[in-house]
A and B are shown apart, each in its own frame.
Chain A
Amino acid sequence: EAQVTQNPRYLITVTGKKLTVTCSQNMNHEYMSWYRQDPGLGLRQIYYSMNVEVTDKGDVPEGYKVSRKEKRNFPLILESPSPNQTSLYFCASTSTGGTDTQYFGPGTRLTVL
């Protein structure tokens, strides 16, 4: 089954404690992205990757890092989380261009105290 998986699904942490949210896809997609969803703001892209070792900033990259060492994995790293990073996070993947379906993971609800 084609899917994007994220872990953990829920996370409560404290300010400054480094964390990683994992994302994996089984569709051999080149493109992967991270979005955050906040009430009244919709989803906004944090970082994206066009292929292995190729990553770039989206619209709201501050406070986040990513890596793409393997095609299937695209972890999101918060080196020093702050309360304003409390949000719902989605990983997504797609093949190259056009109207190719963008597959979303199930979301990770992060709370930073």
Chain B
Amino acid sequence: AQTVTQSQPEMSVQEAETVTLSCTYDTSESDYYLFWYKQPPSRQMILVIRQEAYKQQNATENRFSVNFQKAAKSFSLKISDSQLGDAAMYFCAYRRGGATNKLIFGTGTLLAVQP
């Protein structure tokens, strides 16, 4: 069975600095997708970034980028120039390829941004 592990329950970063959130996963599939979701205090689930496993290039969305290490099954999220609005719970999620919509989530990392 696939699993997703986030080993950092809480992280803290100073405003304008860079922080990296860790995520590892376990799967025997070759076709899959990885996601980072942000959950602010409003509880809304917001997609931050996504990565297709077959793509070697790391995904980037403005200040958010990932370090996808397929062999190591690692998928970390880097937030550059952190802003107060980045404070939230961040979830790493896995979805296998094919006809499924099931996301397998990690337990989350609560990010605090210090002014």
| A binding-site residues for B, Cβ under 8 Å | 31-33, 35, 40-45, 48, 50, 58, 88, 90, 92-94, 96-99, 101-102, 104, 106-107, 109
Contact = CB atoms under 8 A, between A and B. Distances in A.
B107 to A, nearest CB: 5
Interface string B10-35: 00000000000000000000000100
B86 interface: no
Given A104-B45, A107-B44, A41 B102 contact: no
Interface in B41-59: 42-45, 47, 50, 52
Contacts of B91: 42-43
A97 B101 CA distance: 7
B99 A99 contact: no
B101 A94 contact: yes
Contacts of B103: 33, 35, 43, 45, 92, 102
Given A48-B101, A48-B102, 17 more contacts: A31-B101, A33-B103, A35-B105, A40-B107, A42-B91, A42-B106, A42-B108, A43-B103, A45-B102, A45-B103, A92-B101, A92-B103, A93-B101, A97-B99, A102-B47, A102-B101, A107-B45
Contacts, number: 57
A43 B105 contact: yes
Contacts of B104: 45
Contacts of A32: 101
Contacts of A99: 33, 50, 52
Contacts of B99: 50, 96-97
Nearest to A45: B102
Contacts of A104: 44-45
Contacts of B4: 42
B102 A58 contact: yes
